[in-house]
Amino acid sequence: MLKGKVAIITGGTRGIGYETSKLFAQNGAQVILFGSREETVNKALEELKKDNISNVEGYYPNLNNYEEIENLFTSIKEKYGHIDILINNAGISASKPIEDTSLDEFNRIMNINVNAMFCTTKAIIPFMKENNGGCILNTSSMVSLYGQPSGVGYPASKFAVNGFTKSLARELGKYNIRVNAVAPGITNTDMVSNLPKEVIEPLIRTIPLGRIGEPIDVANAFLYLASDMANYVTGTILSVDGAARS
């Protein structure tokens, strides 16, 4: 479904990002995954090689350093000739009550979940314009629609992701650049396993399908949105949550 495409995936070393990197590579894309540290990137690449996946490479840039990102994108474009897909998946969660959350903690969430998305997206647009189109995908969350009982920074950041997605879809449509987001529900990842039971269990009870999601469920949604099958889909926040409502 992605033969000949070049895809950059931030937060690609574990969970949803790793599964998406694997699925995209299996569908013919040249994948460049980004991680936060050299060791996590190397570990992800080693795991992919065990599955005989070689069309993946990895880097660990500072996603809040625009100049670093711009230079890295330039080198990727020079190597492969084009960049077709960007997935802004890097992110962190939060569960503390607001009274126990410091401004530094709140800013860290915004830096990773929102500001990094701004940097990578701003840097990729000239390359996609030059290529007469492209696809930008962002990882949102079900909490961007319903909020959550504690940890206000996380849903605030994901509400921002939705606004960013919908607005950019309108701004960039004239350049044939599609912008969409996937909003996972409770998914079986490390991030979710670190949340307190009192946050997760009430949400699980709202899922009509009777289970939490798996990373592949979300990766499949990204694959659809990145593929030519979604050529007329932009400005959409695609929920992948088993019809969970809170």
* CATH, residue 229: 3.40.50.720
The strand pairing partners of 137, in sequence order, are 87, 180
Q: What is the pLDDT of residue 203?
A: 75
Taking only the tens of pLDDT, the chain with its 246 residues reads 999 999 999 999 999 999 999 999 999 999 999 999 999 999 999 999 999 999 999 999 999 999 999 999 999 999 999 999 999 999 998 889 999 999 999 999 999 999 999 999 999 999 999 999 999 999 999 999 888 889 999 999 999 999 999 999 999 999 999 999 999 988 988 767 777 778 778 878 888 998 889 999 999 999 999 999 999 999 999 999 998 865
In a domain, 200, yes or no: yes
Q: What pTM value is reported for the model?
A: 0.93
In a domain, 139, yes or no: yes
In a domain, 1, yes or no: no
In a domain, 191, yes or no: yes
In a domain, 245, yes or no: no
Catalytic choice (18, 59, 66, 154)? 154
In a domain, 230, yes or no: yes
In a domain, 246, yes or no: no
In a domain, 44, yes or no: yes
Is 154 among the catalytic positions?
yes
How many distinct structural domains can be found in the chain? 1
* Residue range of the domain that includes 164: 6-240
